[in-house]
Amino acid sequence: MRNYEYLKSKIKLIKKGIHIGKLGSKEMIPSHEIALYEGMDNYNSICNVDKETAILYLKKENFKVELNKTGWFLMKYQDLPIGWIKNIGNRINNYYPVNYRILSSKNLLSNE
């Protein structure tokens, strides 16, 4: 509590805590915020991807990954979480927030 009070006196805090998700009609939909939380390192369904796939994900474009089961996966690039995907069997749903998506990929794939 002492850290919270100190930070509150120095900066404008917009909120405290982490939004974990919302209740859908059949299940809980995890939030993007919880995907980036460092405590999610122990999540058991991880999908590690290469740079090109990560960029497609961040642009909310179609991509292909091989997954061994259906359900929620934490997408990672170079061991860093980037968001959620859901494998529903015949396709993968991208849960990256649309307002965060990459609009231009100029120079993203270069090695400069």
Overall domain count for the chain? 1
* All residues at 6 or more sequence positions from 79 whose CB lies less than 8 Å from its CB, including other chains: 48
Q: Is the pLDDT of residue 109 over 70?
A: no
Confidence of residue 41 (pLDDT cuts 50, 70, 90): confident
**pLDDT tens, position by position, 61-82:** 999 999 999 999 999 999 999 9
For the segment 36-64, the average pLDDT, to the nearest whole number, is 92
pTM: 0.79
Instruction: State the average pLDDT for the chain.
Output: 89
Q: Which of 44, 52, 105, 40 is nearest to 77 (CA)?
A: 52
Number of residues that make up the chain: 112
> Does residue 109 lie in a domain region?
no
Q: What's the CA gap between 38 and 40, in Å, rounded? A: 5
Is residue 107 assigned to a domain? no
User: pLDDT confidence of 1, banded at 50, 70, 90?
Assistant: low
Mean pLDDT, range 36-44, rounded to an integer: 86
In a domain, residue 64? The reply is yes
> Where residue 37 sits, what CATH number does that domain have?
3.10.450.720
Averaged pLDDT, 84-109: 87
30, part of any domain: yes
Range of 61's domain? 2-100
H/E element holding 48?
strand 46-49
